Structure 1
Amino acid sequence: MSDPSVTRPPVTSTHRREMFSSRNVFILAAIGSAVGLGNIWRFPYVSYTNGGGAFLIPYLTALLSAGIPLLFLDYALGHRYRASAPLALRRVGRKWTEMFGWWQVLVCFVIAVYYAAILAWAAMYFIFSFTEAWGDDPEGFLFGEFLQVAETPHIGFDFVPQVAIPMLLVWVLTLVVIGLGVKKGIAAANLVMIPLLLVMFLVLVIQALTLPGATDGLNAFFTPDWAALAKPGVWAAAYGQIFFSLSVGFGIMITYSSYLRRRTNLTGSGLVVGFANSGFELLAGIGVFAVLGFMAQASGSAVGDVASGGIGLAFVAFPSIVSSTSIGPVLGVLFFASLVFAGFTSMISIVEVCTAALQDKLGLGRVQATLAVGLPMAIASMLLLSTTTGLFFLDITDEFINKFGILLGAFAMVIVVAWVLRKIPLLQHHLYRVSTVRFGSLWRVLVAIVVPVVLGYILVNEVIKHVTEPYGGYPLGMLGVFGWGMVASLIIGAAILAFTPWKHGTIETVDELALDAKYEEIMQK
């Protein structure tokens, strides 16, 4: 029996949110967010350099013990409190806990600014693939003719038209999709792009496996180095890859799950998204290393000599491969189209975090919030990234925002929710209401103990590494402003935004949700 003095809160206008039309549409959108550039150009190299086939053991361990549990936590927060990251964390705790949600929003703001540039590069290289425009020197073409990178690291405003124009188009398309809303924009884009991405990448992998030397590449990728399992750094790399690739801990999955209907199988959805993301990463590893095996054989080198990750893989190694085989243009078109599709669906989710937060905070309409968020992002992106010094900004900011923005923000959020507010039991109850897969108290242990321990270990190591050896040999002034300064500005900006007044009526909803939480606790007893 329930306490008659506690009643369910009335549904107010602040509860009426846009909704995904079905759970399957949400799953596609979540997969679209998780599957991004990092799956294609980061995972294969991380796996190869951390034990090859043996890396799959720490990788799967990290997925099951930290990635999926943290994904469940994001789902529970977003779905339970029906809000963007700042409002969800405000509703789960007190006024100061809202700061951790704004931290995640600002992380997404910064990522979107430079992510648009990489997406623009991929779009241009998709066009270049038809004519092999990079010629005989892909590296010289990338850094010279295309990006026109300055000789010394600094920040300048010499614009590069062939970068600025496609970046502008990326922003226009992104803001149009976001402005159309959850059903007509985000869901529709993912319904088209994710199936096409899968088909294109499958064709790419099949084509790659037919190349001479593909077997050598696969042997290099899968041959296990069992001794690597004794190295803490290998396990840290596995957990780091999972956190980066699943889109957890920086507001995306909180926001997306807030658009789900009340009775939704959250854990089942999370498992599908988690394993689909890892399956795509494994597929990417097979395709990329089959192609690198061909490149190694053609150049008379070892696979390790041609293996690379990040920008080097996408915009130097792959164009070299395209120029070396008769089916090269086909591989190039498929590869760069896959980068564009994977990157665009992730870009949408990143910008949506900021848009949803502003909608909740100020009560703006969808189009108003999209423009209020998108225009400053686009302007910053064009000013900083479509220049001859944009690559320096991108490199430094990406390193620090990933290591000390996403990871530190996720660590702080878990500590606050699990240990300060002690909300894990309530969130677990919500998570399991209609879910088909339940992990009992194991989920609480993983979220409250394993996740913060792993994140804390990685963070301590990264701080020591970046303090003792300045990243990339960049000037300390640049690292101070765009590295450490960027991280500090996230924390300060989050605190300022947290104490900015909400739209009238939102705080009353917080009180109602506190009663709702009490109601659920009583029903449990």
Structure 2
Amino acid sequence: MGRGAGNKKEISPEVADEGTERGNWDNQCDFFLSCLGYAVGLGNVWRFPYLCYKHGGATFLIAYIIMLLVAGLPLFFLELCIGQYSGKGPIKLFGRIAPAMKGLGHAMLVITFLVVIYYNMIIAWTIFYTFAGFTSELPWSACENTNLFSQNCFTVPQEKACFANNTLDTFWNKECTAVEKLCESQNMTLSNYIDAKQRHMCTKVYDKVVLNDTSVCDIVFLRPQVANETGVFCGTYYNQTQITCAYLDKSAGQYVDEITGNITCTNVHRELQLNKVYNRISASEDYFKRAMLGMDEDTTWENMGGIKWELVLCLAAAWIIVCLCLIKGVQSSGKVVYFTALFPYLVLTILLIFGCTLEGAADGVIFYVYPTYEKLQDLNKVQVWSDAATQIFYSLGPSFGGLITLASYNRFNNNCHRDALLIAFANCGTSIFAGFVIFSIIGFMANSAGLEVEDVIKGGTGLAFIAYPDAVSQMPVPPLWSFLFFTMLITLGLDSQFTMTETITTAAMDQWPQLREHKGKVVAGASLIGFILGLSMCSRGGIYMFELINWYSASWSLILLSIIEVILLMYGYGFKRIFENIEEMGIKLPTFMKWYWMANWLCLTPGVLFFVLIMNFVQYTPAYASNIVLDEYYFPGGIQALGWLMAALPIVFIPCISVLQYRKRKNLGLSTSWRAMFTPNSKWGPATMTNAPAASKEKDPSYINEGFKYVAETNYL
């Protein structure tokens, strides 16, 4: 190993056989599209938009881009380098770089395994929607008079139809209802006023309201300015604060306190638009929670309900697809990605063009990209940075082991530097692009419901299954667009699922080479195990198990693994050796990029991730999910403990495997010194010379470890 070492040594027949057995990409386009498909997944159109929505749009976008530059991209390139150089999966790779850190590869696989279990559940949901859309009218396009839709279900077309039939009617309780009846159901009365859209309003009466000098017009309990009303603004000033929307009416008991300057109102009548009278729920949100998930008002962790067999069948279909596409290894999956990696861009572009034509789309886009002063204050919250870092890991996939696995099937002299830059920016560009799509739709939904953009949807992981379906139901020939959209979601999910499942099966076959002759059985076995473990998410309360795994499986533990990985490679293996390996693969780095990688790998990346990790504990928030009744249903204490155990499980593998390696080396009479345990063993080397004699490596001066300044001793583990 070292500069030029790869060209000096002959490739042994054993290595050639090993490479043939293990498999390689047929061409570099297969690898590039597989990497792109792995990076560009459901996280771009499902997880990224809902995190943007959760953190106020532009705030999260800024944090996301910064985390890409200082954490995501450096780790992405680093893993492509070491995977391509070694030609091994994560377990073998880290076991050969530093025997004591072999558990790092196991830890990555544990996280990948946990994500694989729930990730395929999202694909199962998309399969459910795909088949549900095979109707002349999409089932989530209207509030049907069934128990699958709630009393507060609301759609604009149905409301317009009711208003056209009778101006005193509105759509409520899944039918045309008199506004007066709706007001009475909410302990209000029918108002004498109408709003700007000529809809009747409800009046709510308060015995007494005191407005202090900090009140502003959009939150006071006073009559708003409406279409058919005239009046005199009070224009009262107190401490330089102008109250601009209060009407003084002494006969109604409104007066200004001469001592405090506060406006005190008695017997206040507040005129409310109907969208403020009750919490309107879109038909698509009702369908997602009630029809697809099967949730009820009393569904909690303690009351999960029975199995929803439609979801079981969809989950089985998802795993069958994964199994069939991977059963022949990278040669088969490499061809599938020609369709799965490119098709989503076509559908997203069409949805964006259509979304921009919808009324109110601009409001959603402004919410997404415009950084107001209030939003920028949220950058002080560590949760924003933690979610941005986690999303980068979900998007690009470092520290899951998938990138190492994909690169390990590469040609030794492939330009993975070019691939890393193109794929990383294409991935994040796709996230931002998908954000424009979904926020244009959310803006339309807010305009239709008469709500602010931040209030139109409760958010949560179902955001993409609420906003997108609502959009396709508005398009011409809705069933056709529904089919195209959910097919796109399936292809997005499968790309990432292929790589994560391949990571697990590759690790197994690298560990036990005899399994390579039974590759189909290994893939089928992994798929069966994943299906069985995913059944817990097919119950009517399965969304809670889904959220628990989503919350804890790849949270702080993933960030900690990344810190350990970059420190091991930079200060244990040696950053100079990394650059020599890059040169050995024939990759020429521009001076600026070399300094960029060095600054991040040695300082910025571990430093930023360490800060996020610490603050993740300091500002810990218990796991919760959005259900039918509550926006934030917090899981019981015992379940939170289960989540912590899940998060800690991957980390436990590192010291445990290290102890096993120590005992194994001691039993074989090999050195167990600190240096020996953290020094590359005799099997470490370029992929073209895995079995080269250890003596030739020991003489190579590049084997001097940057961290220990120590020449590697012979190490057979």
Give TM-score scaled by structure 1 length: 0.88
Offset, 1:148: 2.4
Tell me what 1:451 maps to: 605
| Cα distance change on mapping 1:61 and 1:284 into 2, 3 Å | same
Residue in 2 that maps onto 1:412: 564
Could you say which structure has the higher helix fraction? 1
CA distance 1:331–1:518, shift in 2 (3 Å): farther
- Residue 57 of structure 1 deviates from its aligned partner by 4.4
Structure 1 residue 117 corresponds to structure 2 residue 278? no
- Indicate if the aligned counterparts of 1:40 and 1:284 stay in contact, CA closer than 8 A: yes
Per the alignment, residue 88 of structure 2 pairs with: 83
SS in 2 for 1:148: coil
Amino acid at match of 2:548: I
Cα gap change, 1:32 to 1:310, in 2 (>3 Å): farther
Q: Say if 1:522 and 1:103 are closer, same or farther in 2 by CA, change over 3 A.
A: closer
* TM superposition shift of 1:119: 0.7
**Match among 281, 284, 288 for residue 142 of structure 1:** 288
User: CA deviation digits over 1:109-131, x for unaligned, max 9?
Assistant: 11111111111001111232343
* 5+ residue gaps, structure 2: 144-148, 150-283, 625-632, 666-680, 686-690, 705-717
Q: Compute the displacement of 1:202 (Å).
A: 1.4
Q: In terms of mean alpha carbon deviation, does 399-408 or 31-40 score higher? A: 399-408
Query: Residues 237 and 393 of structure 1: is their aligned pair in 2 closer, same or farther, counting only changes over 3 Å?
Result: closer
Question: Which residue matches 2:214?
Answer: none
Distance, in Å, in 1 between the alignment partners of 2:305 and 2:455 is 36
SS at match of 1:248: coil
Look up the match of 1:164.
312
Equivalent in the alignment of 1:107: 111
Alignment of 1:164-313 (within 5 A): 164-183=312-331, 185-225=332-372, 227-228=376-377, 231=380, 233=382, 234-307=384-457, 309-313=459-463
Report the secondary structure of 1:32's partner residue: helix
Instruction: Describe how 1:481-492 pairs up with structure 2 within 5 A.
Output: 481=642, 483-492=643-652
Instruction: Report how far residue 312 of structure 1 moved.
Output: 2.9
Distance change in 2, residues 1:43/1:446 (3 Å): same
Q: Which amino acid aligns with 2:644?
A: W
8 A Cα contact 1:322 1:328, kept in partner: yes
Q: Of 602, 627, 641, which residue of structure 2 is paired with 1:480? A: 641
Structure-to-structure mapping, 1:504-523, within 5 angstroms: 509-510=683-684, 516=697, 519=700, 521=702
CA deviations 1:120-161 (Å, max 9, x no partner) are 001111232343223424334333333224722048683211
* Alpha-carbon distance in 2 for matches of 1:331, 1:211: 16
Write out per-residue CA displacement over residues 468-498 of structure 1, whole angstroms, 9 at most, x where no aligned residue. 64655101111212x1111233334566667
Q: Which residue of 1 aligns with 2:587?
A: 435
Query: How do 1:321-470 residues align onto structure 2 when only pairs under 5 Å count?
Result: 321-323=471-473, 328-363=478-513, 364-365=515-516, 366-382=519-535, 384-419=536-571, 421-432=572-583, 433-438=585-590, 439-466=593-620, 469=622
**Structure 1: how far apart are the matches of 2:379 and 2:645?**
36
- Residue 112 to residue 85, structure 1, CA distance change in 2 (3 Å): same
- Does 1:74 find its partner at 2:74? no
Tell whether the 8 Å contact from 2:50 to 2:461 is kept in structure 1 after alignment. no
TM-aligned CA distance change 1:293 to 1:130, over 3 Å:
farther
For these two proteins, the number of residue pairs brought into alignment is: 514
Amino acid at match of 2:607: V
Higher relative contact order (CA 8 A, sep 6+): 1
What's the CA shift for 1:53?
A: 4.4
Query: Is the contact made by 2:473 and 2:482 (CA closer than 8 Å) also made in structure 1?
Result: no
How far residue 258 of structure 1 moved from its aligned partner, in angstroms, is 0.4
- Runs (5+) with no aligned partner, structure 1: none
CA 45–15 in structure 1, closer or farther in 2 if over 3 Å, else same: same
Change (3 A) 1:277 1:160: same
Give the letter aligned to residue 231 of structure 1: N
Q: Which stretch shifts more, 11-20 or 297-306?
A: 11-20
Decide whether the 8 Å contact of 1:41 with 1:309 is kept in 2: no
CA distance in 2, matches of 1:522, 1:449: 23
Q: Is the 8 A contact 1:76 1:428 kept in 2?
A: no
What CA distance in whole angstroms lies between the structure 1 residues aligned with 2:702 and 2:613?
35
Going from structure 1 to structure 2, the CA distance change for 1:3 and 1:308 (only over 3 Å counts) comes to closer
Kept in 1: contact 2:548–2:623 (CA 8 A): no
Closer, same or farther: CA 228–140 of 1 in aligned 2, 3 Å = same
In structure 2, distance between residues paired with 1:3 and 1:70: 25
For residue 352 of structure 1, give the secondary structure of its aligned residue in structure 2: helix
Deviation at 1:306, TM superposition (A): 1.9
- Structure ranking higher in strand proportion: 2
1:401 CA drift (Å): 1.1
Mean Cα displacement is larger for which, 105-114 or 242-251?
A: 242-251
Pair 490,52 (structure 1): closer, same or farther in 2 beyond 3 Å: closer
SS of alignment partner, residue 42 of structure 1:
helix
Contact persistence 2:56–2:454 (CA under 8 A): no
CA distance in structure 2 between the aligned counterparts of 1:178 and 1:104, rounded to whole angstroms: 20
CA contact (8 A) 1:426 1:517 kept: no
Deviations 1:299-330 (A, max 9, x none): 11122212565433122333344445656545
3-state SS of the aligned residue for 2:619?
helix
Q: Do the aligned partners of residues 18 and 87 (structure 1) sit closer, same or farther apart at CA in structure 2, a change above 3 Å counting?
A: same
| TM-score, normalised by the number of residues in structure 2 | 0.66
- Residue 266 of structure 1 deviates from its aligned partner by 1.2
Instruction: Name the SS for the 1:402 alignment partner.
Output: coil
Name the amino acid aligned to 2:287.
F
Deviation at 1:508, TM superposition (A): 6.3
Structure index of larger Rg:
2
2: CA distance, partners of 1:236 / 1:396: 17
Q: Residue 290 of structure 2 aligns to which amino acid in structure 1?
A: G
Conserved? CA contact 1:160–1:386, under 8 Å:
yes
Contact 1:67 1:246 in 2 (8 A): yes
**CA pair 187-453 structure 1, distance change in 2 beyond 3 A:** same
What is the aligned counterpart of 1:64 among 45, 55, 69?
69
Correspondence for 2:467: 317
Q: Which amino acid aligns with 2:69?
A: L
**1:19 match:** 24
For structure 1, which segment, 54-63 or 25-34, has the greater mean C-alpha deviation from structure 2 after superposition? 54-63
